[in-house]
Amino acid sequence: MIGYPQPVMYRQRPPERTQLTGEHLASLEAYAEFFNHAASLPINQRTTSQRYYIARYFSPSPGDSILDVGAYLGSNLRRYAEEGYDIDGVEVGKAYCDVWDGLKMAVDPQARARTRMFCAMFETWKADVTYDQVLCCEVLEHVIDPQAFVAKIASHMAVGGRAFLATPQEKTRTAARLVRQQDLRAWAEKSGLKVVREIGAIPYKPKEYKGLRGWLQNAWIKTFRKDQTNRPRDWGVAQWICIAQKGVRI
C-alpha cells in the first residue's frame, strides 16, 4: 500500500500566497473564484496526510455512510474507503479535485469504488442520499454564512446521524472569522442538532532529540502516536471540535 507523504513545513513564508480582502464574501460566485484560485497554488497542495484530530476523535460505526464537506485532497476519502466505509466528498476547489483524481489511482480498486468526489459548492450542492456521519473540518471559518452552512449539513444527515464540526482555535490566514467553541454549539443547536461532545484538541508536537534518545523517541512515536492505519498525520493547529447528533439512532 502506498502511504501519504509527510506534510511539508516551511521556515519562511513562500512568496505566492492568497491575499484576503473580504471581497470574496460578497457572493457565492466571488467565494468560489477566490477558493478556486487558492486551490490552484502549489503551496496549498502539499499536505495529503490526515489531520491528527480526525484520526483521534472521529469514530464512525461499522456500516456508516460518511460525507466529507471540504474534502481537500481526499485523505479522509482514502482512509475510510480502505476501512470499508462508503464515503463521499464535496470540494469547491477544482485543483484539489484534480489532485485527488491522481492520488486515488494508488487506492485499491475496491476501496476506490466506495468513494465519490463532487467538485461543487456545498451551499448549492444537492445530495442523492443522507449520511450517518458528516465531517466538516476547517471550513466554517471560511464560509459566507456558517449558520446556514450547518443547517444544510443537518439536512443531509440521516436520523441518528452525527456531525463532526472542527475549526482552528486561532484565526488562519484565509479565515473570514475566528470561530469559538460556543459558536459551533450555537450553530448546531439552531440547526436542530443535539451537541453530544465538545473537545479542545491540542496537537502533540514532541521535542526532537538526537542520537540514541532520538532513535528511541521516533520508535515510540511510530508505535503509539500514529493512527491505526500507521499513516503519518498532519499535526496542524489546535482545534475546537463539536460533535452533534440529529435525533435518536434506531
How high is the pLDDT of residue 55? 87
Reading the chain (250 residues) residue by residue, the pLDDT tens digits are 333 333 333 333 443 444 556 677 778 788 888 888 888 888 777 766 778 889 889 999 999 999 999 999 999 999 999 999 999 999 999 999 999 999 999 899 999 999 999 999 999 999 999 999 999 999 999 999 999 999 999 999 999 999 999 999 988 878 899 999 999 999 999 999 999 999 997 765 555 656 777 677 666 655 554 443 444 445 567 899 999 999 987 6
145 Cβ contact partners less than 8 Å away, ≥ 6 residues apart: none
Domain boundaries, the chain: 23-245
Buried b or exposed e, range 110-146, using 16+ CB within 10 angstroms: ebeebbebbbebbbeeeeeeebbbbbbbbbbbbbeeb
Which grid cell is 9?
A: 513545513
Write down the pLDDT at residue 230. 43
Verdict on whether the full-model pTM lies above 0.85: no
Written as one letter, the residue type at 222 is K
For 46, 52, 93, 103, 129, the CA distances from 7, given in Å and listed in that order, are: 7, 12, 20, 15, 33
Are the C-beta atoms of 78 and 103 separated by less than 8 Å? yes
Q: What is the per-residue pLDDT for 236? A: 65
**pLDDT, position 201:** 78
Backbone phi and psi for residue 167, each to the nearest 5 degrees, phi listed first:
-150, 145
**Fold held by 23-245:** Rossmann fold (3.40.50)
Q: Give the single-character DSSP code of 123.
A: T
What is the distance of C-alpha 53 from the center of its chain?
10
- pLDDT value of position 15: 39
